[in-house]
Amino acid sequence: MPPTPEWTSSSSPSSSSHSSEPFDSFKGFRGRAARACEMIPYFVEFYDLKSSMRMPREHRNRLFRNIDGIILVYDLLDMRTHDNLHDLLYQPLRQICRYRHKRLRPILRRRHVPILVVGTKLDMLKSRRLRRSGGIADQLSTDEILLNCLDTDSFAEKSRNEAKLRKFLNNAIDFKHFFPARHN
């Protein structure tokens, strides 16, 4: 695994005693990626803004400045979690615009940080109201994945979900190259 950037949180692999052996189980994915192009490792860190482990504001702002992509996750059983995504998105976008785009406004112009919206617990819904327009994914002109947590083929090769995730990751890589983080 590549070295972990020093600006990441204490939960990152380089600050723990984990080895990269568990990642060797992804040989199928690595094989597909290697056939497509030369494999370049990238670091991915997930941070739950609603977790009980809250970062101090200055650490959170430093983390937000270096974000290359945002995955917004909500619970399909509780649409209030979907409505709260707007509030969770404001501060990271503000920091990204200020430090990566070198301006405060407008936050959501053409080339903003890549965003993917994921709705979970599709398998637990008894009925689903189709909400194609007006949702946060529609407002941000981004992809949305509705995830059945019991379906092991949710991200199978050549599936819609796999294509949306791959597109998001490729956009995050492009964003990193076009708008490099400034380390202040």
Which one has a higher pLDDT value, 101 or 175?
175
**Closest to 97 measured CA to CA, from 85, 84, 111:** 111
Residue 145 is encoded by which pair of tokens? Answer: 């994945």
Give the contacts of 29 (CB within 8 A, at least 6 positions apart): none
Q: Scan for tokens 């509030």, then name that residue.
A: 87
Give the contacts of 33 (CB within 8 A, at least 6 positions apart): 39
**Closest to 107 measured CA to CA, from 90, 85, 122, 123:** 90
> What domains are defined for the chain?
1-45 (no CATH), 53-178 (3.40.50.300)
- What is the mean pLDDT of the segment spanning 113-130? 84
**Closest to 154 measured CA to CA, from 123, 111, 109:** 123
Is the pTM above the cut of 0.75? no
Residues 60-91 as b or e (16 or more Cβ within 10 Å = b): bbbbbbbbbbbebbbebeeeebbebbeeebee
Q: How confident is the model at residue 30 (pLDDT cuts 50, 70, 90)?
A: very low
Most confident of 3-7, 20-24, 127-131: 127-131
Q: How confident is the model at residue 102 (pLDDT cuts 50, 70, 90)?
A: low
- What is the mean pLDDT of the segment spanning 30-47? 61
Q: Are 118 and 73 in contact (CB under 8 A)?
A: yes
Q: Which of 17-21, 40-44, 62-66, 73-77 has the lowest mean pLDDT?
A: 17-21
Gap between the Cα atoms of 22 and 26, Å rounded: 8
